[in-house]
């Protein structure tokens, strides 16, 4: 065998070793992973919708778009994610699936509850903060969660 022929055999043999394999098939996505991704995307939409209302005034009974009360803000934000919520904080509390604080994700609801009555609701923003329409004379804003003893978390089923 000539030197040239040996070199050609060596080059083609090396090329065969580094040639790309057939494309791998994408691993199937589990239903739980798909649901989790959808929930995260919905939460991002809800938080963005609440954040976009920053600075708008509180007005009792108002559902936006120029002013909000607490449940009006949560209902408005959820509507941007194509989810309809009941009108009041108490009705939203009854509708929500109760979850632990550790399980809460951005876009979930945060309720302030006395006894069995929810008197305030907000959109969970993550990191212990909420977007809410606090009270008359105030405006929609981001705030740290206060009075943890009365706080309950809820998730609206998809």
Domains in the chain: boundaries: 34-155
Residue range 8-53, pLDDT digits in tens: 444 444 444 444 454 556 656 677 888 889 889 999 999 999 999 9
Beta bridge partners of 38: none
What does the pLDDT read at residue 3? 43
CA 60 to chain centre: 26
Of 69, 46, 67, 62, residue with least CA distance to 123 = 46
Q: If pLDDT is split at 50, 70 and 90, which confidence band does 103 have?
A: very high
**Number of neighbouring beta carbons within 10 Å of residue 74:** 30
CATH number of 34-155: 3.90.1720.10
Per-residue DSSP letter, 19: S
Burial bucket for residue 9 (CB in 10 Å: 0-12, 13-18, 19+): exposed
Residue 116 contacts residue 55 (beta carbons within 8 Å): no
Determine the Cα–Cα distance for residues 111 and 91; give it in Å rounded to an integer. 11
Catalytically active residues, by annotation: 70, 120, 132
Q: Which residue has the tokens 């991704």?
A: 37
């Amino acid at each position: 065998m000539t030197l040239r022929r040996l070199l050609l055999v060596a080059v083609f043999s090396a090329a065969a070793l580094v040639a790309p394999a057939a494309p791998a098939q994408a691993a199937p996505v589990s239903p739980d992973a798909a649901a989790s991704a959808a929930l995260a995307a919905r939460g991002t939409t809800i938080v963005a919708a609440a954040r976009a209302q920053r600075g708008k005034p509180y007005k009792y009974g108002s559902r936006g778009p120029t002013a909000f009360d607490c449940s009006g803000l949560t209902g408005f934000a959820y509507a941007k994610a194509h989810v309809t919520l009941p009108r009041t904080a108490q009705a939203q509390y009854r509708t929500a699936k109760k979850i632990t604080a550790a399980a809460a994700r951005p876009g979930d609801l945060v309720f302030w509850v006395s006894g069995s009555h929810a008197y305030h609701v907000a959109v969970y923003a993550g990191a212990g903060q909420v977007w809410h329409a606090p009270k008359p004379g105030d405006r929609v804003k981001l705030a740290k969660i206060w009075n943890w003893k009365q706080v309950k978390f809820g998730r609206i089923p998809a």
